[in-house]
């Protein structure tokens, strides 16, 4: 989700990753996979979208959220890690706090824009559906003995009320706030960084702590004052995947070797996940897998970021990293054929979407609800659904290029001497 000033052009020679003392540069693969994640997230959040049967979440434990957070950690190492190195810990921390401030207002804007839109669509009464009710936003309009409307807005603005659909940006803010601690520990010993990240992750595991009678020490945030519901994305669990990407990009973790043994192991884990995935249970009828998922639910829990999600994602990421080639060379077009030219255009679009991920993410969450409404009105046959999905993806592309244009500050015309 972190934005960095980059160009739309596909480099003739891919940029490299940021080392511990290197210059601020980017890896082609970072923006590519983050761009892919943005399109998957749009599809996944569109209600009744048949394409959701084909997203990564249906075929394994991890999904586009892991891609999103892992790549955000990598991008943060470039955008913020370098600031700590160049300007010192105090100004580096100030840089992170400024980013948290930006993400906070993106969160607030997304919520109220989506709320207003769903109220409007409900009032149109075209489909007979309550769209703000679908997002479980009843407490914004209905009083009961469980909540008090007089405090609902204050609760939202102070992150004491975090609706499920709007919970990933708050998680990201908390993870960003851990970065100054991680950077300070890195100046002492990288082993302290590992101990901190792993320790915080362990304290975020409800089931694990419960086995040792330490459930009361579980780190989490309440999602609403009137119940015991907690944030769906527990930042104390999800920071593990964020700082893994961060550590790789900072050079704290060495890039893994490409060996037949590692490739075979990663492929075995990814393929072996299919029977245990939701698609394996629903479509292939593996009843034993349903029982397994229930018995070992904490290991694949999405809220606390169960360890098998981590293992599955790293295996999938390793295979994708190898296939993309050194510095993303395999992603670059070959030759001058029509297919190569078409891929050049498509690659440029994907990279741009990946570069402007915060703006694209916020718009995608809003657009997904509009897409669901459109399908309610005009139908969900295959052709119609594909058309609506194409329209939604087009919106994301337009937003990405628009955000890039604004960030380039074209009004700052250089005056020639």
Q: Tell me the pLDDT tens digit for each residue of 149-189.
A: 668 888 999 999 999 999 999 999 999 999 999 999 999 99
Could you tell me which residues come within 8 angstroms of residue 69 by beta carbon, excluding any fewer than 6 positions away? 172, 175, 238, 241, 242, 245
Distance CA 59, CA 189 (A): 38
Q: CA angle 65-70-76, nearest 5°?
A: 125
Residue with tokens 């973790």: 253
Q: Give the per-residue pLDDT at 162.
A: 95
Could you tell me which residues come within 8 angstroms of residue 417 by beta carbon, excluding any fewer than 6 positions away? none
Q: Give the per-residue pLDDT at 152.
A: 87
Query: What phi, psi does 129 have (nearest 5°)?
Result: -100, 150
Query: What phi, psi does 222 have (nearest 5°)?
Result: -70, 140
Locate 199 and state its tokens.
């320790």
3-class secondary structure, 5? coil
> Using alpha carbons only, how large is the chain's radius of gyration in Å?
22
Distance CA 185, CA 189 (A): 6
Chain centroid to CA 48: 21
For 258-298, write each residue's pLDDT tens digit.
999 999 999 999 998 888 887 766 666 677 878 888 889 99
Locate 416 and state its tokens.
């020639």
User: Which of 236, 244, 256 is CA-nearest to residue 193?
Assistant: 244
Q: Give the per-residue pLDDT at 291.
A: 83
User: Which of 77, 72, 75, 67 is CA-nearest to residue 313?
Assistant: 67
Q: Give the per-residue pLDDT at 400.
A: 97
Which residues in the chain come in under a pLDDT of 70?
1-26, 143-150, 280-285, 414-417
Q: Give the per-residue pLDDT at 22.
A: 43
Distance CA 166, CA 362 (A): 10
3-class secondary structure, 97? helix
Q: Give the per-residue pLDDT at 17.
A: 40
Q: Give the per-residue pLDDT at 186.
A: 96
Distance CA 253, CA 244 (A): 8
Task: Quote the pTM value.
Answer: 0.89
Distance CA 164, CA 38 (A): 19
CA distances from 264 to 58, 198, 260, 398 (A): 22, 27, 6, 40
Distance CA 304, CA 242 (A): 13
Q: Give the per-residue pLDDT at 247.
A: 96
Q: Give the per-residue pLDDT at 54.
A: 85
CB 232 within 8 Å of CB 223: yes
Q: Give the per-residue pLDDT at 23.
A: 43
DSSP single-letter state for residue 217:
G
């Amino acid at each position: 989700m972190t934005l960095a000033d980059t160009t739309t052009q596909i480099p003739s020679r891919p940029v490299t990753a940021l080392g511990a003392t290197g210059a601020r540069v980017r890896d082609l693969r970072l923006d590519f996979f983050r761009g892919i994640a943005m399109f998957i997230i749009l599809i996944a959040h569109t209600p009744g979208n048949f394409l959701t049967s084909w997203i990564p979440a249906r075929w394994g434990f991890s999904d586009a959220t892991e891609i999103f957070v892992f790549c955000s950690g990598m991008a943060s190492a470039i955008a913020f890690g370098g600031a700590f190195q160049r300007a010192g810990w105090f100004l580096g921390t100030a840089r992170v706090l400024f980013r948290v401030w930006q993400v906070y207002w993106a969160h607030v804007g997304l919520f109220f824009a989506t709320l207003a839109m769903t109220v409007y669509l409900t009032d149109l009464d075209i489909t007979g559906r309550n769209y703000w009710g679908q997002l479980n936003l009843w407490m914004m309009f209905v009083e009961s003995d469980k909540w008090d409307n007089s405090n609902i807005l204050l609760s939202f603005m102070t992150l004491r009320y975090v609706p499920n659909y709007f919970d990933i940006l708050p998680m990201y803010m908390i993870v960003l706030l851990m970065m100054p601690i991680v950077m300070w520990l890195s100046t002492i010993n990288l082993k302290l960084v590992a101990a901190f990240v792993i320790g915080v992750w362990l304290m975020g595991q409800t089931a694990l702590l419960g086995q040792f009678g330490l459930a009361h020490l579980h780190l989490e945030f309440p999602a609403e004052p009137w119940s015991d519901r907690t944030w769906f994305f527990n930042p104390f669990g999800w920071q593990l995947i964020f700082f893994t990407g961060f550590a790789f990009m900072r050079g704290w973790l060495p890039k893994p070797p490409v060996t037949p043994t590692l490739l075979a192991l990663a492929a075995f884990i990814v393929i072996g996940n299919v029977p245990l995935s939701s698609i394996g249970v629903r479509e292939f009828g593996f009843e034993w897998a349903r029982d397994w998922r229930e018995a070992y639910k904490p290991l694949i829990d999405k809220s606390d970021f169960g360890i098998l999600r981590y293992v599955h994602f790293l295996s999938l990421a390793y295979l994708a990293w190898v296939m993309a080639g050194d510095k993303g060379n395999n992603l670059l077009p070959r030759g001058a054929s029509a297919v190569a030219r078409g891929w050049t255009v498509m690659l440029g679009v994907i990279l741009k979407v990946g570069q402007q991920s915060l703006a694209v993410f916020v718009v995608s969450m809003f657009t997904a609800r509009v897409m669901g409404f459109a399908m309610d009105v005009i139908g969900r046959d295959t052709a119609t659904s594909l058309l609506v999905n194409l329209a939604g993806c087009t919106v994301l592309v337009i937003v990405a290029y628009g955000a890039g244009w604004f960030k380039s500050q074209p009004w700052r015309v250089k005056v020639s001497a």
